[in-house]
Amino acid sequence: MSLRLGDIAPDFTAETSLGTLNFYDYLGNSWGVLFSHPADFTPVCTTELGKTAALKEEFAKRNVKPIAISVDGVESHNQWIGDINETQDVSVQFPIIADEEKHIAGLYDMIHPNSSETVTVRSVFIVDPAKKVRLTLTYPASTGRNFNEIIRVIDSLQLTDQHKLATPANWINGDDCIVTPAVDTTKAKELFGDVKEVKPYLRYVKQPNV
């Protein structure tokens, strides 16, 4: 059964490019981005892991820890990391899980038989500090992921966890937000100041704390 939003992300212990790792211990009180790859030494994956490494500071300032996974082994991962660092001009410092037995891929439903019976699709799971799944994305093997979108979603989740707000289409950090239906306009003005009421159910406010 696939994981749904709000489910507790399964814990696991695995061998990785940085040694033996327990998922929950690795995350601690941080958010996590767990993302799978069809295989090592593949072109799209090389760019994706390079982009993740390049975004190290952006993930860190949001208290987010990335962790990658594929069904190849640790030795293969470590050799591939050399290629990633060379071709993408980065330093990969996050772990890549070796899931040769496909145990974790099974826990997270990362293998879709109608796509491939042997390799993982491009799955993404955003997990919060309570270990709840907050976002799932699945890309085909031929399409590289948009890491700006992953950062954008994390910004939205962290903002809306703190405030009774939602974020509109194409929102990015700093844009106006939407007041949730559970908050009436009088209360919204107390909480957020000026409220732009387009419709009674569509009300915009400036993003707090920017």
The residues that are catalytic are 45
Give the SS3 label for residue 82.
Answer: helix
Task: Tell me how far apart the 2 most distant CA atoms of the chain are, in Å.
Answer: 60
DSSP three-state, residue 107: helix
The encoded tokens of residue 31 equal 């958010």
What CA–CA distance (Å, rounded) separates 197 from 174? 19
CA distance 30 to 127: 9
Q: How many CB atoms lie within 10 A of CB 76?
A: 18
Distance CA 167, CA 176 (A): 8
